[in-house]
Chains A and B, each alone.
Chain A
Amino acid sequence: MPRRADKRLGPMIFWSIAIAVTAIACAALFYAAAGRTVNATGPEMADPNDHFRLALAGIEADERSGKLDAEQALAARGELAREMLRSQSEGRARADKEFGRVPLLVGLVGIVALAFGLYAVLGQPDLPAQPLANRPEMVAQSMDLGEAISRIEARLAEAPDDLRGWQVIAPAYVELGRFADAANAYRRIIGLSEPTPDLQSDLAEALLFEANGAGSDEAMALLRAAATADASHVRSRLYLAAELMRAGNYPEASAFWQQAIDLAQGDEPWLPAATQGLAVALNDGVDAAAQQQSEMIQGMVGGLSERLYAEGGTIEEWAQLVRSYLVLDDRDAAQRAFDAAVAAYPAAFDRGDLDTLALGAGLTLNGDTP
């Protein structure tokens, strides 16, 4: 209840403060001009001689304290007198009539209209502040995950049939990378409830992760069961296809890729990977795209190296050439290009990341002048 009251009170308090601030600001401006008589300390140039009087006093003070000798002081006074004569011959600009109330009031109205008008467009007065400390959902999240898990584990040790407890802890184990525990938890959930395709896939996923991606017979059986039970289950089909690709069973893999693609709506994030997987599977495991890419790189590298060796180039271009050779696994050519780059850019500072790249790939640094 109090939170709901806050929601309506918040904007009201905000508007009250905003109006008060505006009123104070306008009052300050209004009374600056209209309320008081003009400040007692007039401007220093009201009487132009004031400035010269101050300057003269400064010269005299310097002369007394010995910073100027008599001759210098005389010269300084002469300069001052000359400046004074000049300034008197110029005369002062006359001020217009005084600043009246009408323009002031127009200005104040303008300020109020502009401020509230612009705020109405840009502001969100009913959106409360949400500092982290006041957000209960965050407080719950910020509780240490490990601590929460050990608490649930303690409860499950007492009541091993607590389905809800296993449901909470299983994904948490996956998140923490404890895949064996996660697999165990999913087995318990399946034992305590129905073996749905989702649960079977979850368990298979945990098993796959635990074996670093290598599928076991148990995982494959689970995935096949899930795919058979639900003809529209995508996740199990994707895992099956990927696993069959790894095993080299391309005909069956392409069937599962095709099924998954048929089930897609068109904007799934996995779709491009599945399409590519299908293409590779139909090509008997040879990635035509990668082959093409490698040919393209070779063509590009040829052109680049010809130009760089002939005309030289920027250090980024040399780095690109070295990197390309490394990708193509042509270590001799990479070393040659690196040597040429070092010759072109003898200071290590200029070479930047090229050194890191080259030394990291096991090339040697020849002809460097440290």
Chain B
Amino acid sequence: MSIELGHFALILAFAIALVSAIGGLLLWRRGERLALVLGHASILQFVLVAVAFLAVVQAFVASDFSLALAANHSHSLKPLIFKISGVWGNHEGSMLLWVLILVLFGALVATFGRRLPSDLTNLVLGTQSLLVAAFAGFTLLTSNPFERLSPAPLEGADLNPVLQDIGLAIHPPLLYAGYVGFSICFSFAIAALVSGRIDQAWARWVRPWTMLSWTFLTLGIAMGSYWAYYELGWGGWWFWDPVENSSFMPWLAGTALLHSALVMEKRNALKIWTIFLSIITFSLSLLGTFLVRSGILTSVHTFASDPTRGLVILTILAVLIGGAFLLFAIRSPSLRQGGLFAPISREGALILNNLFLATAVGAVLVGTLYPLLLDALTGTTISVGAPFFNFTFGALMAPLLLVLPFGPLLAWKRADLVAAGQRLMGFAALSVFLAILISALGGTSISMVPIGLLLGFWVSFGAIAEVIERSRLGRIPLGESLRRLRGLPRSIWSTALGHFGMGLTVLGIVTVSAWETELVTTLNPGETAELSGYLVAFDSFEQQPGANYVADTGVFTVTDPGGETATLLAERRTYVASGMPTTEAAIQTYGLSQLYLQLGEPLENTHVIRVWHKPYILLIWIGALVMAGAGALSLTDRRLRVGIPQRARKATAEAAQ
């Protein structure tokens, strides 16, 4: 009965969302009472969808195969954690998770937004309810997770083995929290366009939500990348796969939104652009959902290849995005532009950031959609591979990274570029020195590597320039400097940390691309191979049963250049229920570098072994974690800061430029 109660709860939530959407969007001027009703309705939606979600989880845990979803994607022998994460390891269940996070954000707005003006509340909650109604309706009518089977089968068909991993418990919820969080920015943007009013209350609401969503999305993408790295067995951490791209585009747009919302919150400028970015960012999140579920793509991410579903999502997408842009086109001319600023100023630097990021979104979008469109229109299959993305994306990111350290050092409204440059000189010199030193030691022949290293060091060091500048480190007594450091607003720390994390990621990408080594060979137990000073000895080969799989295990002893040894187990698993194989690579960490060992197909009398040495690869994800930490830190800071312009001491010099 719990399954049917969950089903009813989801339907009731859909009904409440649909009615709230109509009420909120049509009667938004009707004041505070409506706001209270919509607030309660949002919380009710969350409670009901949570009940529905728990009902499905319960059915998975109890192996209730009268639920078709459990019969198709679960198995009674699966470990408990994978029974739970298996709920969203499929199309229907992941839609339910998507809706759950959507209503969670709606409930959060209703709870924390009690002091917002009532017309804004009505419009925001109305739009949010419209999204809930659209996606809950889509879930119920085209991909209902509560479909039943009678008679119930005796055993489930099991979850795709690649997904039977702790990564599935973490990656999708984080990613969805990021995607769906941007729906709040979208709803606020719609509210601003409908009501025609954007004031500071609007601005101070949008930025924290952007920051929160961006933080989750950063973590989600980093987690997904690490998961692909260790699970897919190829040792690659980013494939420019269309599905990866479709999570990366909202991240790029969200990063731009984050910076433009900053300008808007502190300086009340860039309002229309911020609204535009809010719509774009959420639209890109929806596009990602569409690509994954339409059956257009095939990758590890695509679980639903049902064209009718794709068509329905495309319709929802067209109506929501098209409607939003139509509204934007009609209403944005009547919105008031914000504060003025000189081209060389913090605002100007952030606009530059936005231009580069927006262009990068465009480049990735073209690279992702062009092959799909070409295939659909002419039937020609082309593949836009890593070289295209590496080149265009790299070419766009290099100048952005080059100017990045200047931004935080520029003052709001009008700034002195020369002074900022002088303050960065020391760091620039240090970066050049390190880049040359490392390139010389690493013995590289690829010309782009020193430039990449230079950019990485420059961004990392430049990020701490502002903190050092503000603490007047070295110019005043150390104790005084430390006191100043402690007193710095958390937003400044957050900026420095975020940019520093970016630098770390760049360094990781450059070093691993330049100095990665790989070895493919055939080995028998008792034989050894060598790669970059690491001695790999194949000790033994065993077959042993696991919980719901049979594993071929290769036992290896790796001796590192320092003489230390470690035992590594690389597995190939064959899952009992599906008969599908997976590779479990063995990864040994040496500081920030890793040795990655994969046991290939068993051959008649030997084994194919692949070994990679990946120098400093962990920097890629550590950098992402630092960026996400910076986002979290920023959320703890006091809001309502006013951007402080510098006194126009050199007004004449500025005017001359």
Distance in angstroms from B144 CB to nearest chain A CB is 6
Q: Are B520 and A45 in contact (CB under 8 A)?
A: no
Query: Of residues 110 to 132 in B, which have CB atoms within 8 Å of A's CB atoms?
Result: 114-119, 121
Chain B positions within 8 Å of A370 at CB level: 517-520, 531
**B7, B20, B195, B520: the one within 8 Å of A119 (CB):** B7
Binds B, one of A63-71, A148-156, A185-193, A281-289: A63-71
**A83, A122, A132, A365: the one within 8 Å of B11 (CB):** A122
Q: Are B195 and A93 in contact (CB under 8 A)?
A: yes
Cα separation A71 to B647 with both chains bound (whole Å): 8
Distance in angstroms from B79 CB to nearest chain A CB is 15
Distance in angstroms from B77 CB to nearest chain A CB is 10
**B27, B41, B643: the one within 8 Å of A79 (CB):** B643
Chain B positions within 8 Å of A39 at CB level: 32, 36, 114
Q: B235 in the interface, Cβ–Cβ < 8 Å?
A: yes
Cα separation A43 to B32 with both chains bound (whole Å): 9
Chain B positions within 8 Å of A107 at CB level: 19-20, 22-23
Given contacts A22-B12, A125-B4, A356-B608, contact A41 B115 (CB under 8 A): yes
* Interface flags, A336-370, vs B, CB<8A=1, else 0: 00000000000111001001100110000100101
Cα separation A38 to B640 with both chains bound (whole Å): 27
Q: A264 in the interface, Cβ–Cβ < 8 Å?
A: no
Q: Which residue of the partner chain B has the closest CB to A351?
A: B520
Chain B positions within 8 Å of A296 at CB level: none
Distance in angstroms from B199 CB to nearest chain A CB is 6
Q: Are A141 and B154 in contact (CB under 8 A)?
A: yes
* Interface flags, B1-44, vs A, CB<8A=1, else 0: 11111011101101110111011000101111110110111001
Q: Are A127 and B117 in contact (CB under 8 A)?
A: no
Q: Are B200 and A95 in contact (CB under 8 A)?
A: no
Chain A positions within 8 Å of B18 at CB level: 114
Cα separation A9 to B647 with both chains bound (whole Å): 79
* Interface flags, A116-133, vs B, CB<8A=1, else 0: 001100111101111111
Q: Are A129 and B234 in contact (CB under 8 A)?
A: no
Cα separation A33 to B604 with both chains bound (whole Å): 76
Q: Are B600 and A54 in contact (CB under 8 A)?
A: no
Query: Of residues 26 to 58 in A, which have CB atoms within 8 Å of B's CB atoms?
Result: 28-29, 32-33, 38-39, 41-46, 48, 51, 54-55, 58
Q: Are A21 and B487 in contact (CB under 8 A)?
A: no
Q: Are A360 and B65 in contact (CB under 8 A)?
A: no
Distance in angstroms from B374 CB to nearest chain A CB is 16
Q: A158 in the interface, Cβ–Cβ < 8 Å?
A: no
Give the contact-size bracket for chain B.
Answer: 35 or more
Q: A269 in the interface, Cβ–Cβ < 8 Å?
A: no
Chain A positions within 8 Å of B603 at CB level: 359-360
Q: B148 in the interface, Cβ–Cβ < 8 Å?
A: yes
Cα separation A356 to B572 with both chains bound (whole Å): 14
Q: Which residue of the partner chain B has the closest CB to A57?
A: B640
Given contacts A43-B117, A79-B643, contact A98 B64 (CB under 8 A): no
Query: Of residues 78 to 99 in A, which have CB atoms within 8 Å of B's CB atoms?
Result: 79-80, 82-83, 86-87, 90, 93, 95-99
Cα separation A28 to B37 with both chains bound (whole Å): 8
Q: B197 in the interface, Cβ–Cβ < 8 Å?
A: yes
Q: Which residue of the partner chain B has the closest CB to A83?
A: B268
Q: B489 in the interface, Cβ–Cβ < 8 Å?
A: yes
Q: A72 in the interface, Cβ–Cβ < 8 Å?
A: yes
Cα separation A43 to B615 with both chains bound (whole Å): 55
Q: Are B116 and A44 in contact (CB under 8 A)?
A: yes
**B146, B604, B638: the one within 8 Å of A58 (CB):** B638
**A76, A130, A347: the one within 8 Å of B66 (CB):** A130
Q: Are B118 and A95 in contact (CB under 8 A)?
A: yes
Q: B318 in the interface, Cβ–Cβ < 8 Å?
A: no
Q: B644 in the interface, Cβ–Cβ < 8 Å?
A: yes
Q: A111 in the interface, Cβ–Cβ < 8 Å?
A: yes
Q: Are B115 and A128 in contact (CB under 8 A)?
A: no
Binds B, one of A11-19, A272-280, A320-328: A11-19
Which residue, of A68, A107, A112, A365, has the highest number of chain B Cβ atoms within 10 A?
A107
Q: Are A38 and B33 in contact (CB under 8 A)?
A: yes
**B5, B16, B121, B610: the one within 8 Å of A14 (CB):** B5
Q: B326 in the interface, Cβ–Cβ < 8 Å?
A: no
Q: A59 in the interface, Cβ–Cβ < 8 Å?
A: yes
Chain B positions within 8 Å of A67 at CB level: 487-489
Q: Which residues of B contact A (CB under 8 A)?
A: 1-5, 7-9, 11-12, 14-16, 18-20, 22-23, 27, 29-34, 36-37, 39-41, 44, 48, 59, 62-66, 76, 114-119, 121, 140, 144, 146, 148, 150, 152, 154, 195-197, 199-201, 234-236, 267-268, 336, 339, 383, 487-489, 517-520, 522, 531, 600-601, 603-604, 608, 610, 638, 640-647
Jot down 23 A-B pairs with beta carbons below 8 A, ordered by A.
Answer: A29-B16, A29-B37, A29-B40, A39-B36, A41-B114, A45-B201, A55-B642, A62-B489, A79-B339, A79-B642, A86-B336, A114-B19, A115-B11, A118-B15, A119-B7, A122-B7, A129-B64, A130-B64, A133-B62, A355-B600, A355-B608, A365-B520, A368-B520
The 9 tightest CB contacts between A and B, nearest first, are A131-B62, A114-B15, A99-B30, A132-B63, A99-B34, A96-B29, A32-B40, A45-B117, A44-B115
15 extra interchain contacts, Cβ-Cβ under 8 A, other than A96-B31, A122-B146?
A25-B44, A38-B36, A42-B115, A48-B199, A51-B200, A58-B642, A65-B487, A83-B200, A103-B30, A107-B19, A130-B66, A132-B76, A348-B520, A359-B608, A360-B603
